[in-house]
């Protein structure tokens, strides 16, 4: 009798865990707003140097989430026949020259200017050695945190590496409800995030699904 009650209790707990996971997944999402803009560059996007500043918000977004985004973004673009090289801000030699630690009552925000242009200029030689046709700037425009989760807006800007002309840009809006830890389900969250970007790149004719 006792063992039966115990088994029933375990079954109930498993059921609750399944429901919790389902709710967690449904409470997370990413949407894009390209305002109908399509890629207007003169040539194909074949080699992209990615400048990611997402690690400025590692505490809010989650370290493992960012690790997964880095890996999955590279893999997804490679499947489209696009070579990539990524430089994340905390790996930049210029990182040590700037104090960007968030201070005050809301550590998710800071008014300190981020040296985006300086990082690009300092990396130009490596970008050229890589043979980049374009550079992709990934910048966390806004991150809002609460006890129940986070909402963050990311700006994506695709620039011709030769002319420095912007040929496409968009903003993504993501939400993540947390249960216990802010970095829960990093692989699934990153998959939804990157898949959303890839769908937007196809929609905007940045890539055509040609494959390698």
Q: What is the pLDDT of residues 83-129, one digit of tens each?
A: 999 999 999 988 877 755 444 344 444 456 788 999 999 999 999 99
Span 29-203: which CATH code? 3.40.50
Average pLDDT, the chain: 80
pTM of the model: 0.77
Quote the pLDDT of residue 143. 73
Quote the pLDDT of residue 182. 54
Per-residue model confidence as pLDDT tens digits over 3-19: 555 556 555 555 544 43
| Sheet architecture: strand order including 83-88 | 29-33, 166-177, 149-160, 134-146, 47-52, 83-88
Per-residue model confidence as pLDDT tens digits over 20-39: 444 444 345 778 776 668 99
154, 55 in Cβ contact below 8 A?
Answer: no
Q: How many angstroms from the chain centroid is the CA of residue 109?
A: 17
Q: Which residue has the higher pLDDT, 198 or 59?
A: 198
């Amino acid at each position: 009798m006792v063992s039966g009650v115990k088994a029933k209790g375990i079954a109930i707990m498993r059921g609750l865990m399944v429901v919790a996971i389902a709710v967690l997944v449904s409470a997370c999402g990413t949407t894009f707003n390209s305002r109908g803009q399509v890629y207007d560059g003169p040539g194909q996007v074949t080699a992209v140097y990615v400048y990611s500043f997402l690690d400025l918000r590692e505490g809010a977004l989650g370290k493992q989430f960012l690790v997964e985004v880095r890996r999955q973004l590279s893999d997804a673009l490679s499947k489209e026949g696009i070579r990539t090289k990524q430089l994340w801000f905390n790996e930049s030699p210029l990182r040590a020259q700037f104090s960007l630690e968030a201070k005050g009552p809301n550590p998710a925000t800071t008014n300190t200017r981020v040296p985006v242009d300086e990082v690009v200029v300092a990396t130009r030689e490596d970008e050229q050695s890589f043979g980049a046709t374009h550079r992709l700037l990934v910048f966390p425009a806004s991150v809002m945190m609460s006890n129940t989760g986070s909402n963050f807006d990311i700006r994506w800007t695709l620039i011709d590496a030769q002319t420095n002309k912007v040929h496409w840009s968009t903003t993504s809006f993501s939400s993540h409800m947390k249960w216990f830890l802010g970095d829960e389900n990093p692989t699934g969250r990153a998959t939804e995030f990157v898949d959303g970007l890839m769908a937007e790149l196809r929609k905007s004719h940045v890539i055509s699904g040609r494959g390698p």
